[in-house]
Amino acid sequence: MKNISKLALLVFIFTSFISIINAEIPDNKLPIQGISELSSPAEEHFKKGMSKGETGNYYEAIDEFDEALRINPIYIDALAMRGLSKYYLGAYDDAIADYSALIKIKPDYTDAYLQRALVKYYGFKYDEAIEDCNRAINVKPGLPVAYFIRGISKNYINDLKGSLADLDSAISHRDNYLDAIYNRGLVKQKLKDNNGSLADFNNAITIKSDYADAFYNRAITKRQMKNYPDALADLDKTIKIKGDYIDAYFTRALIRQEIQDYRGALDDVNFVIYKKPNFAEGYFVRGIVYHSIENFQQSLESFSKAITLKNDFSDAYYNRGIVKKQNELYSGAIDDFNETLRIDSTHTGALMERGELKLDLKEYKEALEDFKKVIRIDAKHTNAHYKAGHAYYNIGDSDGACMEWKIARDLGFVDGFNMIESNCK
């Protein structure tokens, strides 16, 4: 409870698990009852609770706040601090109950609405968090943190325009509002406003030069812009600031794979797996890298491990099927494509690969069904039309074959011209 004493002095700070938020509740005064109006035993229990909380003994802190409230049931500071202690223990519903009790005592108490909104936000109750922010704004318009909490909550329910508007308002009401600027960058990133996103992350880094999350997400934006050298530089900086930033290593591995720095990609993804041995996506990426350097055995083992850890990992099945197909393990490849399609029946890659395998195995009717399924999903899939033409041709349906090859040709598939010239009138 690092900032518990500050809360008693009317500054209330929550920090999120992934460092997205470090929001300060504004310093409008708590309606603290004067010491002379409180019984001395209640005050003593409150002070003991504060001391316990400051050292992280939250259960014992709650016991002391309970005693203070038993003596004085409307002791607002004790309710606030008990709510905070419960929040730190992850007892969100109980924390909400304490803030609700505060609001019942004083319905126009904006801090209680905002504190309850944050707990609801962390408890994934985004709509309810928004409602509490609305109430706080109605009581006291212009509170930067109210717009901030409402903005980040709207982000998580994908009201991106609403989120952007609220974060703009938060920033307009507070100069250099670091957390609002950073989170606005995240929203713009989602909206594919790359230049706007970069501007916000740049601003955040100007305000806080060691802001690892801002460097990391600036790298994400630069990757979206295919500016790989600068993205890698930002990831290097992220890792320099925070050496155990696993997402930064993982993203750096992805970029290094994309730019064919396979040795660097393996180093990064192996570090990720070392730190997170049950991270299926780590093994999946390692399988991709090994496949790129034609180490097929290691690739197969990595994809298999990913599937063991995440048995509905459709892309892991699909890529393992690709490796098996390339190594002429056709039965196993078809099994993997079947599993891919069991998980995701619209996976056009698996349909095409399975169809092509069946075409090679002279199972023409089954191959044709796979190509037709691809065409139903994507009518402009040129290769599906082209391969469907071959399937039709091999079952003796020349009209069907020529029709599909003509469609492939009209879609710009060069080989379609050749097949029409050779086989169609």
Chunked in runs of 10, what are the mean pLDDT values of the chain (425 residues)?
A: 29 28 34 42 93 93 96 93 93 96 92 94 96 95 96 97 98 96 98 98 98 98 98 98 97 98 98 98 98 97 98 97 96 98 97 97 96 97 95 94 92 80 80
Q: Which amino acid is at 312?
A: D
Q: At which residue do the structure tokens 């609403």 appear?
A: 162
Say if pTM beats, i.e. exceeds, 0.75.
yes
Three-state DSSP string of the chain? CCCHHHHHCCCEEEECCCCCCEEEECCCCCCCCCHHHCCHHHHHHHHHHHHHHHCCCHHHHHHHHHHHHHHCCCCHHHHHHHHHHHHHCCCHHHHHHHHHHHHHHCCCCHHHHHHHHHHHHHCCCHHHHHHHHHHHHHHCCCCHHHHHHHHHHHHHCCCHHHHHHHHHHHHHHCCCCHHHHHHHHHHHHHCCCHHHHHHHHHHHHHHCCCCHHHHHHHHHHHHHCCCHHHHHHHHHHHHHHCCCCHHHHHHHHHHHHHCCCHHHHHHHHHHHHHHCCCCHHHHHHHHHHHHHCCCHHHHHHHHHHHHHHCCCCHHHHHHHHHHHHHCCCHHHHHHHHHHHHHHCCCCHHHHHHHHHHHHHCCCHHHHHHHHHHHHHHCCCCHHHHHHHHHHHHHCCCHHHHHHHHHHHHHCCCHHHHHHHHHHCC
CATH number of 345-425: 1.25.40.10
Q: What is the pLDDT of residue 417?
A: 73
